[in-house]
Chain A
Amino acid sequence: MEHVWFTAAIWLGLALVATLLSIWLRLSIALTEIIVGTVAQLVIAALLGSGALGAREGWVAFLAGLGAMVLTFLAGAELDPDSFRRNWKEATVIGLIGFAAPFAGAAWAARALLGWDLQASLLAGVALSTTSVAVVYAVLLELGLNRTAYGKIILAACFINDLGTVVALGLIFAPFTLRSLAFVAGLGVAVWGLLRATRPLFARYGGRTSELEAKYLLFGLFLLGGLAVWSGSEAVLPAYLVGMVLAGVVGRDHALVRRLRTLTFGLLTPFYFIRAGSFVDVPTVIGGFGIFLVLFLAKAVSKFIGIFPLTRRYGYPHAEGMYTTLLMSTGLTFGTISALYGLSHGIITQIQYSFLVATVIASAVVPTWVANRFFLPLRHLPQEPAAPQSTLTSGGE
């Protein structure tokens, strides 16, 4: 039993290191945990042997899987329903193309240029079809664009893009059987029930130290996750859909979101992201830089081919179209979730996984840098600095 506690101590120790790095480097905790996981695997494997980190142990895999599930739920719950209703047509078109073009492009590149088998190529397509709502939001917020109609359309389109990714991940690799029908029916009933029951239940029994909300949400996620996996699908699909459905209830309850965040970032996601990083084989990525480049360009070029002409069709000026295209070319959370799904289910090898995760991380960094450096949508930028006005008054007042 002490082995479990020592292993847990190692993981939380790594999470602490990642947290300090994220504060010092002003990076997200997700990115630093992936990096720490990658480095830790190298160091610990060299010092103590390849299995010492325990990344493949059942309880570590469970906590990591739960982290991915809750993270996906939170991502779905971040949908702004009002904004989406206002912009749904344009956002849906851009989002669907934003998913479909890179899915096809990356899958084709993996199959035709890299010679990966069909399943692995499709998985590459899914992992590289994503965008990152959170990365895009952070960029827009920095510039004050998140409050503009333009920014809201991009964010809504990102949601649709990721919905495409999650649905593809949940359905493409699932065998279509009676179980699939049972899953779809169960999901439909659950969504209907959640829509009807959640708000009154929270209003009647929520806000207490007994944390009914967290238990209720976890119960629903576990049940639907179990149903999804039983049917051969993936647990993140119902998590994202349930998150979107409950966005109006959960997303606006700041106290509940804060409590879920403590659970998620304090315990679960360290296991998820560090584990995701620990499977990356750095020497392989360095040695096969050309493969990484093919995957990265496949995502970037196919996003461009899909989204840029659309933005022109919607009347965006050139720079704005490029900015939109580049922001929608980002990726992080769902890219790593998809890649880890592929590795866990034997769809891709660890070498392929390493290239995919490296590409996903690069797609979080490079497009945002290029967008902000060369294609700022100046006409939407506030005249004053983006920061909200301070509520403090000057000393003389």
Chain B
Amino acid sequence: MFFLKLVFRNALRARLRSALTVLGLVIALVAFGLLQTVVRAWNAGPESASGARLVARNAISLVFSLPIFYRDKIRSIDGVKSVAVSNWFGGIWRDERSFFAQFAVDAPAYFGLYPEFRFAASEWQDYLRDRRGAAVGRQLADLYGFAIGDRVPIRGTIYPGNWEFTVRAIYEGRDDTTITRQFYFHYDYLNEFLKQRFPRGADRVGVFLIEVDDPGRAAEVARTVDAEFANSLAETLTETEKAFQLSFVAMIETIIQVISGVSFIVILIILAVAANTMAMTARERLSEYATMKALGFGPGFVARLILAESLVICSIGAALAIALTAPIARGFFESVGKQVFARFDVAPETYGYQALAAIAVSVLAALVPMVRTANVRIVDGLRHVG
């Protein structure tokens, strides 16, 4: 069609300008996509949490512990299938930057609750047998190069001293969505140490993990557990694993919101650039548009020409940006993101938003030139020297 021919040739006319505009669009849209992915990745942790597992912690704060004798009481509650314990260790391995999560757990019970972690039979036995043994997740092992038999020295912060563990097992995840970035050692080992050096801190746990028979009864069981320990020295707060993880996400909610907000500012920036390009281009071509109007083409026709040209340029930018977002996200993850995120996938919705943003920008950028050009008097336009 003639119209398309005109539009495409005009779009490619000022090559440097069009190229720069497309470049700006690509940078802005990729940045937008990356930021959106960061926000999503941060909120994604809780998504993979199980609905059949409950977390019971000290009602006051996670920072406070619970007595271990609660375990038997919890186990005897109707609806509870099994109970395990976990203490956040929070030590420093190489330096503060090389962070990973360390937990002291009661191994057979704990991993019974987490069937998504898969062990090789012999490694499992070795792990259980070694009181200083540690089980390391596959993703964590890959990240820092841990191998079976490695000695891992960790400086305790909550539990002071220089600790040393030996990697006895590397467990795999059931599927792609399983996060395997944890470091598990034996609760008994920690407890022995505490009994000797800090008796007051011994026989305490950070959280109880509770498996329920029937996920539908999870809320009810949680309430029963809390009722059991109400008005005691250490009251409990029991919630589903997902709710528990969501409470962490909520903590830096403000910052995540800021990041999300900032990702939209970048769209505004590119809107300014695109609008400028379209305005300048339309002004320079005013005599051409006036000529067309003189020839008999209506104002709607020239307005549509401008809009179509804007759409073409923005579409090229959007296509390139969408194609580049995944590889760039991958690069970001491999270099920096791995430290913080387990997964960093670009959601299909993100591509949708990028396309939407591109279309919005192209329409808004063309708006003023469209109106001005459609309304220009032919005689004024013809006189105009672009």
Q: Are A and B subunits of one complex?
A: no
Residues of A within 8 A of B (CB): none
